[in-house]
Amino acid sequence: MFRISAWVWVCILVVSCALPMAAQSWSALNNKASFNASTALLLTDGTVMVQQIEAGAWWRLTPDNFGSYINGTWAAAASLPSGYGPLYYASAVLPDGRLLVEGGEDNCCGGSEVTLGSIFDPAANTWTSVNPPSGWTYIGDSPSVVLPNGTFMMGQGASPSTQQVVFNASNLTWSAVGSGKIDGFSEEGMTLLPNGDVMVVDTENGTHAERYNPLRGRWGSAGNTFVVLPSNGGMNIVPELGPAILRADGTVFVGGATANSALYYPSASKVGTGFWIPGPTFPTGVMADAPAALLINGNVLVDTSPFFTPPSTFFEFDGSNFNPVPAPPNAVNDASFYARMLELPSGQILFTDGSSDVEIYTPAGGYNFLWAPLIESVPSSITRGTTYKISGLRFNGLSQGAAYGDDAQMASNYPLVRITNNSTGHVFYAKTHGHSTMAVATGNRIVFTNFDVPGGMETGASTVVVVANGIPSFPVAVTVN
């Protein structure tokens, strides 16, 4: 029988669960980064890979023994292949746990819209170069997404291309897919919907939005946003756009490079277009290239600023209003496009702005326990250095978590397994891989992943949880041998 703690029973009774945190606050890491930090991605072993801005160097942040990222420590990871260090690019953590980086704008070592790419193996701490798709003379800062079947898909990120490809992770090759796209992928971001489709808001086609059906390989209309979201800010560039975040209620929040926002209500089926309603206007600033992240309380944390200009102002969008929240220390000097956000398994948000001041945001309130993963099956006795299967509900969360758009992608809609020793309280993450799905909001469908019990973890009575986008499952008792 699964053993549920008293804290969990309280969560069930009050519906909302909260971790013991200081609400709506920013905290600098106690071990300051020795480099200027840019895009960050969450690996399936609970560590965070962070790129040194516009460089080939990467660093790995590991939480402390109690799972704290604020008290985490840095270690240098392997660098990208020589000559490759983009500022903006496509990226994703694949179902096998590897990290893929593709293309790039403003490369460290010369060139823009480069065709370079590389894949990182966390176990070997090595990068392997990936050849570009056949016939592509540039990739650029391209939008990408991992489809529900676990396949990485990327659009060519420079106007007016409508070319897109999928990646074969086993032999590092590409295949062309897709038809029917109306405008180019430049400056657009891809958002995975609960029905398995992918939504984009067009940047060069007025107020039109599109959705891609992976099974049919075709784009179709996703309706009219009614309010103008893209803008070039009076500059001679392809119009910019803000992030699109799937919320826990199934709606998609889209921040505009204008003062506008919009909410998309996707169709539950694969045949309807869904519909849009205008959202509130930003109290200050816009989201012309900007990060946002879904918080465990269901709100969306957003970073706004004047078009490409400091200062930044932060809000939590609650579905109806933008509520002001504190800003990190560098906000007065930051335009929104400097910043990146990443959902952590602690329920907090990691924030980088191209400086060495890496900050963590702690939201107020808790999560609805109906949003949490639920473990249905896991062995009651597990052995160090061994791989096991764990299954249950909602392992991929209700959303991809955090987003930026075409310039950076940091989705974390995959399960993490966290094991806590009962005697010491020490936390260990078991690397997950081979997820049965990379879909979001999988409802009552049984899903699974595999996890590797760390060889050096403590033995004895423990609890295991599955974490998806910062929300943990009810703990289940296990014995570690």
Q: Is the pLDDT confidence value at 111 over 80?
A: no
Nearest to 89 by CA among 59, 119, 62: 119
Residues for the chain: how many in total?
481
How confident is the model over 359-385, as pLDDT tens digits?
999 999 999 999 999 999 999 999 999
How confident is the model over 112-137, as pLDDT tens digits?
889 999 999 999 999 999 999 999 99
Is residue 7 classed as helix, strand or coil in its secondary structure?
helix
Residue 375 φ then ψ, to 5°? -80, 125
pLDDT at 268: 87
Q: Is the pLDDT confidence value at 9 over 70?
A: no
pLDDT band, very low/low/confident/very high, at 3 (cuts 50, 70, 90): very low
pLDDT at 4: 41
CA dist., res. 247 & res. 231, Å (int): 24
Q: Is the pLDDT confidence value at 218 over 80?
A: yes
pLDDT at 16: 56
Please report, as a single letter, which amino acid is at residue 121: D
pLDDT at 2: 44
pLDDT band, very low/low/confident/very high, at 314 (cuts 50, 70, 90): very high
Name the β-bridge partners of 42. Answer: 48
CA dist., res. 342 & res. 411, Å (int): 8
How confident is the model over 135-192, as pLDDT tens digits?
999 998 899 999 999 999 999 988 789 999 999 999 999 999 999 999 999 999 999 9
Q: Judge whether 114 and 107 are in contact, CB under 8 Å.
A: yes
How confident is the model over 317-337, as pLDDT tens digits?
999 999 999 999 999 999 999
Distance between the two ends of the chain, CA-based, in angstroms? 19
CA dist., res. 475 & res. 458, Å (int): 17
Map tokens 């160090």 to a residue. 384
pLDDT at 53: 97
pLDDT band, very low/low/confident/very high, at 109 (cuts 50, 70, 90): confident
**Mean pLDDT of all residues in 237-250:** 97
How confident is the model over 160-173, as pLDDT tens digits?
899 999 999 999 99
CA dist., res. 111 & res. 130, Å (int): 18
Please state the pTM of the whole predicted model.
0.95
pLDDT above 70 as % of the chain: 95
pLDDT band, very low/low/confident/very high, at 18 (cuts 50, 70, 90): low
pLDDT at 393: 98
Neighbours of 272 (CB within 10 A): 15
CA dist., res. 166 & res. 152, Å (int): 6
Neighbours of 428 (CB within 10 A): 22
How confident is the model over 440-479, as pLDDT tens digits?
999 999 999 999 999 999 999 999 999 999 999 999 999 9
Neighbours of 32 (CB within 10 A): 11
Q: Is the pLDDT confidence value at 236 over 90?
A: yes
Residue 37 φ then ψ, to 5°? -95, 135
Map tokens 């869904």 to a residue. 274
Q: Judge whether 263 and 322 are in contact, CB under 8 Å.
A: no
pLDDT band, very low/low/confident/very high, at 22 (cuts 50, 70, 90): low
* DSSP summary character for residue 13: H
Residues near 298 by Cβ (< 8 Å), separated by ≥ 6? 247, 248, 249, 318, 319, 367, 368, 371
Q: Is the pLDDT confidence value at 14 over 60?
A: no
Q: How many helices (H) and strands (E) does the chain have?
A: 1, 40
How confident is the model over 270-292, as pLDDT tens digits?
778 999 999 999 999 999 999 99
Q: Judge whether 395 and 468 are in contact, CB under 8 Å.
A: yes
- Burial environment of residue 9 by CB neighbours within 10 A (0 to 12, 13 to 18, 19 or more): exposed
pLDDT at 160: 85
**Regarding beta strands 300-304 and 292-294, do their DSSP bridges make them parallel or antiparallel, or are they unpaired?**
antiparallel
